[in-house]
């Protein structure tokens, strides 16, 4: 048995890669990437977001998020608008195509849930809680601040 089979970090890495690959395959017919899907889901569920709030929710820095939003805006998935009261603040909303995709992609969470092999919603909730704790404690162990939305 390879030594990596006994490493928690490798198991997390492999599970993350497998999950991301499943999303990639499921989203490919719509030409979406997993990060684009996460942006859309956040906007669908939580409504319009400022770029900074969206970055906090998705744990993405502005150097990664800005080009992502620019590409999404070019495909009418989102719109970015400067606030008239404070031009430094940019609000992100769903574009026409982004709104239309909500119904088309409605089955993705269920397909992913079935793919986890977890028996029920409580098991999924327990796993999420465990992973959030792991994220927080690993940030603490590394001496870096945990992202603001990890405990959500």
Q: How far apart are CA 52 and CA 118, in angstroms?
A: 33
pLDDT of 149 above 60:
no
pLDDT score for 150: 43
pLDDT greater than 80 at residue 148:
no
- Which stretches of the chain are DSSP H helices? 8-27, 34-46, 51-58, 62-74, 96-104, 108-116, 121-142
Give dist(CA 19, CA 16) in Å, integer.
Answer: 5
- pLDDT tens-digit readout, 100-135: 999 999 999 999 999 999 998 999 999 999 999 998
pLDDT, the chain, mean: 91
Work out the pLDDT band at 38, boundaries 50, 70, 90.
Answer: very high
Q: Taking 60 as the threshold, does the pLDDT of residue 58 lie above it?
A: yes
Mean local confidence (pLDDT), 41-58: 95
Strand order in the sheet with 49-50: 49-50, 90-94, 78-82
Neighbours of 106 (CB within 10 A): 10
Q: For residues 137, 140, 145 and 147, what is the CA-based torsion angle, rounded to 10 degrees?
A: -10
Q: Could you tell me if 37 and 29 are in contact, meaning their C-beta atoms sit under 8 angstroms apart?
A: no
pLDDT above 60 (res 40): yes
- The β-bridge partners of 82 are 90
The whole-number pLDDT of residue 68 equals 97
> From CA 136, how far away is CA 151, in angstroms rounded?
8
Contacts of 147 (CB under 8 A, 6+ apart): 56, 59, 135, 139
């Amino acid at each position: 048995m390879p030594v990596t089979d006994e490493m928690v970090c490798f198991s997390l890495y492999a599970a993350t890669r497998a999950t991301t690959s499943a999303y990639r395959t499921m989203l490919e017919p719509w030409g979406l990437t997993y990060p684009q899907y996460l942006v859309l889901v956040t906007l669908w569920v939580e409504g319009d977001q400022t770029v900074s709030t969206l970055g906090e929710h998705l744990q993405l820095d502005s150097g990664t998020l800005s080009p992502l939003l620019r590409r999404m805006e070019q495909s009418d998935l989102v719109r970015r608008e400067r606030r008239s009261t404070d031009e430094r603040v940019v609000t992100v909303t769903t574009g026409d195509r982004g709104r239309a995709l909500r119904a088309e992609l409605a089955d993705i969470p269920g397909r992913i849930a079935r793919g986890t092999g977890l028996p029920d919603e409580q098991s999924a909730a327990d796993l999420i809680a465990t992973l959030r704790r792991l994220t927080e404690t690993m940030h603490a162990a590394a001496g870096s601040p945990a992202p603001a939305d990890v405990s959500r």
